[in-house]
Amino acid sequence: MEARNGEQNMYRVLSRFYRQLAEPRNHFASQARVVGHLLAELPNGTEARVLDAACGTGDVLKCLWEAGSRSLYGCDGSEDMLQQVQFDGIRGRVSHVEWGQLDRYLRTHDPFDCIYILGNSLAHADLTKIEGILGSMQGGLSDGGVAIVDVRRWALASGGVRDGSGRADSEWRFLVEAELDGRRYQVSDKACLEGSVQRVMYRFVDAVEPQGTLQEELVYHVFSAKEICELGRRIGFAVAETKVFEEWPYDVVALKQPRNG
């Protein structure tokens, strides 16, 4: 069994299965449609300079390319996720950047019209770090540009916070059967809420050789779209609003940079 990466969210194991978990849920195409709706509100639409700041496997950027966008860039803190990037159209435009280094990355690039962190990625940071991340995103935007993040819907129950999707806490849930290097794995996950932290254990059981079982734990922080909007306003975004899209399970927060001149 591989060592767990716990707090570091390195996606060392999950990266190798990520596409097989995401594709059946239409995750990439739906996310690209959400970004497309928001790009359509910008004056330069598909001409907009776009940065996916948690681009992972690069599949959302690929969908945006297919929808006509060309000024596409990506960065991510996990080298393992970036190794999964297959699409040649963006391969030279993705960089290994941890959010703590986003400022430096953005200083060496022209301003972006849209910078997004989607797919419940921001939840890997806690609220104390998110202020800095949103501040970096803001610093890298053009006048009138937009930063977009998404937030899981948490529900308040009598025993505390609950996953808004209604899934049971601390129970294994079968996700998908996946293939890796000629072996078949049964993929399951188990989420455990501990105060404002959710730990999700992903387990990949090799049906033929149980000793080949892999697992990895990822940590997600609990916060609301309202808290992100308040944070955005506090650090100077002109508009901070929550949007809901039929095709997307998370609340989407759009933060607009003031337009100067």
Ligand X SMILES: C[S@@+](CC[C@H](N)C(=O)[O-])C[C@H]1O[C@@H](n2cnc3c(N)ncnc32)[C@H](O)[C@@H]1O
Looking at the Cβ atoms of 76 and 189, the one nearer to ligand X is 76
Alpha-carbon span 205 to 154, nearest angstrom: 29
For ligand X, which residue of 74, 119, 140, 145 counts as binding (CB under 6 A)?
Answer: 119
CA distances from 28 to 44, 105, 247 (A): 23, 24, 11
As given in the structure block, the two tokens for residue 249 are: 């399970």
Written as one letter, the residue type at 189 is D
Quick check: 140 binds ligand X (CB under 6 A)? no
In the window 160-219, what residues touch ligand X (CB under 6 A)? none
Q: Using an 8 Å Cβ cutoff, are 12 and 80 in contact?
A: yes
For the bound state, the minimum distance from the C-beta of residue 104 to ligand X, rounded and expressed in Å, comes to 13
Looking at the Cβ atoms of 48 and 97, the one nearer to ligand X is 97
For ligand X, which residue of 5, 121, 136, 138 counts as binding (CB under 6 A)?
Answer: 121
Quick check: 152 binds ligand X (CB under 6 A)? no
Alpha-carbon span 20 to 17, nearest angstrom: 5
* Main-chain phi, psi angles of 112, to 5 degrees: -100, 150
For the bound state, the minimum distance from the C-beta of residue 220 to ligand X, rounded and expressed in Å, comes to 9
Q: Using an 8 Å Cβ cutoff, are 176 and 24 in contact?
A: yes
Looking at the Cβ atoms of 79 and 143, the one nearer to ligand X is 79
Q: Name the nearest CA neighbour of 77 among 128, 113, 129, 26.
A: 129
Q: Using an 8 Å Cβ cutoff, are 218 and 207 in contact?
A: no
For the bound state, the minimum distance from the C-beta of residue 80 to ligand X, rounded and expressed in Å, comes to 8
Residue closest to ligand X (Cβ): 119
Q: Name the nearest CA neighbour of 18 among 90, 82, 65.
A: 82
Written as one letter, the residue type at 230 is E
For the bound state, the minimum distance from the C-beta of residue 257 to ligand X, rounded and expressed in Å, comes to 21
* Interface map 69-98 toward ligand X (x if CB under 6 A): -------xxx--x----------------x
Instruction: Find the helix packing angle between 27-39 and 59-66, rounded to 10°.
Output: 50
For the bound state, the minimum distance from the C-beta of residue 117 to ligand X, rounded and expressed in Å, comes to 7
In the window 12-71, what residues touch ligand X (CB under 6 A)? 22, 31, 54, 56, 60
For ligand X, which residue of 32, 69, 72, 99 counts as binding (CB under 6 A)?
Answer: 99
- What residues line the site for ligand X (CB under 6 A)? 9, 11, 22, 31, 54, 56, 60, 76-78, 81, 98-99, 118-121, 124
